[in-house]
Amino acid sequence: MSTPSVEDYVKAIYKAQLAASDVTTHQIAERVGVSAPAVSKMLHRLAALNLITHTRYMGVQLTPAGEKVALEIVRHHRLLELYLVQALGYTWDNVHDEAERLEHHISEEFEERIDAFLGYPQTCPHGDPIPGRDGTVNTVQDRALSTQIMPAPLTIRRVSDRDASLLRHLKALGLLPGTAIEFLEQEPFGGAFLVRVGDEVVRVSPLAAGQIYVADLAKEK
């Protein structure tokens, strides 16, 4: 039986799998915001529901059934975020928590109406792909700005939505998904990343640069 708690866990595991092939109990606990013993208890339940496989020393993996649940809740979340921004005037830094509360409770009809109202969007306000109704997800080819070494024209594909203060900071710098930028250099000794945005050069801390995902501008054209 799918409940909000179960959906939160499978969504957390899905996102963790995107970042690392082997998902640990600690990583899940960090994403869900609970203790490791609480995670262990839930993992037993998820395994009984055939939503995950949990092998000692091999980590946690979603089953096809678990991935289907995860993608559905991710689709709800990202459609709701965009709807809150475009229809209700929310800012991109305060939609995440609202969408977290709503994502478990909307009907499939309501989801379809939001999708149609928004013009069948491909990405959420933070640039993450919105899974399709059939469970397909567009492949995202990008990398963190913090890994950039050589000067290059880039485009911002997406940004992490986990920290509202970071989102406000990035908006103030003009670093939004879809924005063309030019990486100039990193200051010495692990310093700030210097990026040209329009006619301005802005300094991006290494921490923030690790939450901005970019692609080569030439490949976007």
CA distance 104 to 131: 16
Domain match, 13 and 56 both: yes
Total number of domains constituting the chain: 3
Q: Which domain holds residue 113?
A: 72-135
What is the pLDDT tens value at each position of the chain, 221 positions in all?
578 899 999 999 999 998 877 898 889 999 998 998 999 999 999 999 999 998 877 789 999 999 999 999 999 999 999 999 999 999 999 999 999 999 999 999 999 999 999 999 999 999 999 999 999 998 888 999 999 999 999 999 999 998 999 999 999 999 999 999 999 999 999 999 999 999 999 999 999 999 999 999 876 55
Domain match, 215 and 148 both: yes
Does residue 164 fall inside a structural domain?
Answer: yes
Angle at 17 between CA 9 and CA 59, to 5 degrees: 80
Does residue 67 fall inside a structural domain?
Answer: no
CA distance 188 to 190: 6
Q: Which CATH number covers residue 164?
A: 2.30.30.90
Domain match, 111 and 163 both: no
Domain match, 97 and 152 both: no
Q: Which CATH number covers residue 127?
A: 1.10.60.10
CA distance 132 to 159: 20
Longest dimension (CA), the chain: 57
In this structure, are residues 202 and 195 in contact, taking their beta carbons and an 8 Å threshold? yes
Q: Which CATH number covers residue 56?
A: 1.10.10.10
DSSP string, 59-87: EEEE-HHHHHHHHHHHHHHHHHHHHHHHH
Total-model pTM: 0.90
